Structure 1
Amino acid sequence: MDYRAFDTSVQEIKYKVLKEVATLAWDGNLDSGLLQIAEKIMPGPKPTMRCCIYKERAIINERVKLAMGGDPDNPNVVEVLNIACDECPVDGIRVSEACRGCIAHRCKNVCPKDAIEIIDLKAHINPDKCIECGRCVSACPYNAITKMVRPCENACKVGAITMTEDKKADIHDEKCISCGACVYQCPFGAISDRSFILEAINLLKESENNTKYKVYAVVAPAISSQFSGIKVEQMVAGIKRLGFFNVVEAALGADMTAYKEAEELYEKKFLTSSCCPAFVRYIKTAFPGLAQHISHNVSPMEEISTYLKKMDPHAKIVFIGPCIAKKMEYKLPEVDGIIDCVITFEELLALLDSRWIDLNEMPEEPLDNASYYGRIFARSGGVSAAVAQALKEHGYDDFTCNPAVCNGIEECKVALLKASRGILQENFIEGMACQDGCIGGAACITHGPKDKKQVDAYGNEAKETTIKESIGILGMIKE
């Protein structure tokens, strides 16, 4: 299987735009070549997916803007491409041909806005009155009334997306957790994330082959589930070929986080994890009363980057992972100066191909030092397992981690609701906004059932068998 294979053609178009922008940036031709990108990707003369070739190119031009950083005045890293958002059905509640014209009229009687009329014995919905509450859908004994939920709204489990008066998607920044679920689920690619790929390229170019300063790539452990058929060691070589001085495991930062989080859990007796920025933001926006229980330890990305900056104060660090929310995290004031740039696996692939780097031809270069437990942070349940292991290694035999493993933001909501009402039985909430954890991240190239097994296999390859062994190498264990 080609390691460039995507789940959807939407991802492929996004990749093509990123690749073209990156190619021009490397060569210093961005200003002169910018206007040719749309025509190169959509040569025409016939359209392939929209009403006309001109609209297709107009949408590509909007994607180019996002590839170059998007709207600098937008605090959100997720943006709506209004010109691309026009294909979803606008009437959310519809009466189908299955309507039997019954005499019970349950649908009409239950409607709070009197939006249903009986015309020629059949139910008809007045869209001007309908508020899409769905009561008629539940009331109809024939299931003849259906609710058409737009994919972006359905994907957003925190209720941050609504429709504007002209039926375009609208993201409410105060509710958005930047998880990117809407980005991955929109069938027309009308919602996308801002890219900082140009910042990464500039960091590499201005380092002058790592002579002015060294550029480190911190790679998330979920990379083991990506780039099908390619070994992690080959990816390391490919990333170095781009011009990075060294590649470091974010899983090493996960070991640090787990070790410190175990101490904090033992001391406080109740805690929520802090590694997923979307989960942390969800607590702060939807359950502010529980914010005091968020682990005070920083995420693995911040942990390992802080360590690298301590060892090399002039270092520049680019985080590479599956997570759109990490782009939001690194822009936070408290993270300023720790991380210099964040790109995704999708953007990494575009970078590699913009420099004609074929991973199949790369030699194998080692990526080690993290433990099994740090590496399995990438999948649901991994954080809890690592914290439980860290408790043992601390010698806290009189305390047990009893986790509520929340796989996806919906499960997070349930656990947080229980905690807010004082009825949660568990003492540790592991929150992962994405289904299956980081391996289900919106910016993964592929999503599949084998991902968890691949992460576990990658974890089992670790030379360090304990968390202490892993972080002990860094001199972080005080005997």
Structure 2
Amino acid sequence: MRNFETNVQLLKYRVLKEVAARAYEGNLMESYYEIPKIISPGPKAKLRCCIYKERAIAQERIRLAMGGDRRNPNVIEVIPIACDECPVERYQVSESCRGCISQRCIKNCPKDAISKTKNGKVVIDHELCIECGRCAKVCPYGAITEHVRPCERSCKVGAIAMNEEKKAEINIDKCIACGACVSACPFGAVMDKSFMVDAINMIKNSRGGENYRTVAIVAPALASQFDDCSLGQVITAIRNLGFDYVVEAAMGADMVADKECEELVEKGFLTSSCCPAFVSYIQKQMPELEEHISHNLSPMAEIGRYVKINAEMPVKTIFIGPCTAKKAEQQKPTVDLWIDCVLTFEELQAMIDAREIDMPSLDETTLVDASPWGRIFGRSGGLTEAVLEAVKEKGLDFAVKAEVCSGIEECKTALLRAKVGKLDKNFIEGMACVGGCVGGACSLTHEAKSRVKVDQYGKNAENKEIKTAIDKYQVKV
């Protein structure tokens, strides 16, 4: 079993693996109440106050691993019972308080929530405190500290707040499904819904390709995820899960770059459409810029569309990548025609191990379709480089001046400047995750060398031009 970056990721993997194994065996519902006992065998609790709470939380993880609440369109959910270890009060007085006579904190509190104790130090009445933070700002010793929950701090769009019960709550009107909170929560109380069971059922119901073919569309960031085996062995492992074919999302990226450069020339200013969290951010936070979003599908949807239109028989397409926002994108009417399900790298690992597939021992299956430019979409700046290459190959008389944004904070800055006419650029490449797709919330690893691995994956491409790759590509389904 691989080494995981955190024990939260390991716990999530264990649940996913148990669910995947039983989904493949066809006895998932019968095992629904047995899995928590496997995750937390007892008799003593290892992670929580008691074995009963551990198992109750495990049960909630299983529910989300099976798709969660289908009535809730958001792909990120909070497990309330697991959200109880963070500090409840946002502002607290530390031992640094000297009981000074200036009393700035007391005088600046609008609700008289701060008072002095008998020993001269101050105390906050949290029943009165409105968490405005004025006391912390004026304290000369910095003795009043702010405790921001990791999920809140990680959410750069303000979609997470504490409800009346002091549990994390997601505002679906603000959430862009980037998954930053999923990675940030140190107790795993925020989790993305898994549609892994749906994917397994699609594979099983195809009856070995008799009813329809199942096609795995793999994101280029896959090249950065596995150190103990080659990418070709990973592709073979995916085939061994029951997929009939594996295609590169990078080929869809080539198609997008080819179209997007022409749209940019035609319109004069464009924001990218490849990252669904970035697109969602514009739509929810800056709708006045929505008209500038590229009308092209994302690489995932573009290659899914190509495969389904050109296949000789019915096809189910399942995307595999590092992104939680792709799960939300799949639900859009413009995308669900072309993509039937989305899996993450975490779910892929769980499925491979559930089937006891030993990847290092496998033969290699080589993917040779996409160009280097489509493959480097997996990291920040890759999309811009591909658009520049497409403009060059087409001989278009247009100077691309791009703003490459790594992470939603950089995206916000660029969009605000564009909104007020202060951005001296004509193309914004927006990636909600820092580093691009290699920094996705559901990546197995977030190493610095991930970018290098994606670049090497690009260099290994046989088709060196975007046009050549597109012209040679033929659907093999």
Q: How do 1:62-101 and structure 2 match up within 5 A?
A: 62-101=60-99
Aligned to 2:459: 460
Q: Distance in 2 between matches of 1:272 and 1:160?
A: 23
Contact 1:5 1:446 in 2 (8 A): no
Q: Tell me, what secondary structure is at the counterpart of 1:335? A: coil
Q: Distance in 1 between matches of 2:449 and 2:27?
A: 41
Deviations 1:320-369 (A, max 9, x none): 00000000000112212211111100000111111111111111111121
- Alignment-mate amino acid for residue 19 of structure 2: V
Aligned-residue offset at 1:148: 0.2
Q: Tell me, what secondary structure is at the counterpart of 2:463? A: coil
Aligned to 2:395: 395
Q: Distance in 2 between matches of 1:110 and 1:226?
A: 51
- TM-score between the two structures when normalised by the length of structure 2: 0.97
Q: Give the one of 23, 35, 47 matched to 1:25.
A: 23
Aligned to 1:107: 105
Q: Distance in 2 between matches of 1:140 and 1:386?
A: 51
Aligned to 1:405: 404
Deviations 1:256-281 (A, max 9, x none): 11111110111111100000000000
- Alignment-mate amino acid for residue 392 of structure 2: K
Structure 1 stretch displaced more, 224-233 or 291-300: 224-233
Q: Tell me, what secondary structure is at the counterpart of 2:233? A: helix
Deviations 1:14-43 (A, max 9, x none): 111111111111111112212110001111
Contact 2:249 2:303 in 1 (8 A): yes
Aligned to 2:201: 202
Contact 2:369 2:473 in 1 (8 A): no
Aligned-residue offset at 1:253: 0.4
Aligned residue pairs, count: 473
- Alignment-mate amino acid for residue 274 of structure 2: C
Q: Distance in 1 between matches of 2:106 and 2:383?
A: 50
Q: Distance in 2 between matches of 1:454 and 1:15?
A: 24
Aligned-residue offset at 1:190: 0.4
Aligned to 1:56: 54
Aligned-residue offset at 1:475: 7.3
Q: Tell me, what secondary structure is at the counterpart of 1:35? A: coil
Aligned-residue offset at 1:438: 0.5
Q: Distance in 1 between matches of 2:259 and 2:177?
A: 26
Alignment RMSD (CA, Å): 1.3
Contact 1:5 1:445 in 2 (8 A): no
Structure 1 stretch displaced more, 49-58 or 466-475: 466-475
- TM-score between the two structures when normalised by the length of structure 1: 0.97
Q: Distance in 2 between matches of 1:94 and 1:394?
A: 61
Aligned-residue offset at 1:118: 2.5
Aligned to 2:253: 254
Aligned-residue offset at 1:134: 2.1
Q: Distance in 1 between matches of 2:298 and 2:356?
A: 33
Contact 1:107 1:135 in 2 (8 A): yes
Contact 1:224 1:458 in 2 (8 A): yes
Contact 2:372 2:459 in 1 (8 A): yes
Q: Tell me, what secondary structure is at the counterpart of 2:334? A: helix
Aligned to 1:323: 323
Q: Tell me, what secondary structure is at the counterpart of 1:357? A: coil
Structure 1 stretch displaced more, 192-201 or 130-139: 130-139
Where structure 1 has 5 or more consecutive residues not aligned to the other structure, the ranges are: none
Deviations 1:275-300 (A, max 9, x none): 00000000000000000000000100
- Alignment-mate amino acid for residue 338 of structure 1: W
Contact 2:253 2:374 in 1 (8 A): yes
Q: How do 1:34-433 and structure 2 match up within 5 A?
A: 34-120=32-118, 121-312=120-311, 314-396=314-396, 398-433=397-432
Q: Distance in 2 between matches of 1:465 and 1:113?
A: 66
